[in-house]
Amino acid sequence: MNERTRKAMLALVDLCMLATALFMLGYGAHLVAVTWHQVIAEFPGLSVGITYLPIPVGGLITVLFIVERLWCGEPPRTSIMYSDRPLDLE
């Protein structure tokens, strides 16, 4: 695959991931708002909205990682991210 095609594919992947994360953030926040005043029968003190809260939080964290990747670029090949061997902690 040539470099131009590779960059186009990476941009497409970033856009798809950003769209998915924004969908999770927007509709997850809406789901939390709609179900916030409903309670779980077994746990009367626990709102249903709280149980759905990880959806928009996960979307927000994913958006932050995508923005970081777009802003800073890919990590260098010497990064620990590309290492297959375990870290020596001592």
**pLDDT level of residue 75 (50, 70, 90 thresholds):** confident
0.85 cut: is pTM over it?
A: no
| Positive/negative CA dihedral, 32, 35, 37, 40 | negative
Mean pLDDT, rounded, of the chain: 90
Mean pLDDT on 59-68: 95
- The pLDDT, as a whole number, for residue 23 is 98
Using pLDDT thresholds of 50, 70 and 90, give the confidence band for residue 84.
confident
Six token digits for residue 51? 């149980």
CA dihedral 34, 36, 38, 39 (to 10 degrees): 150
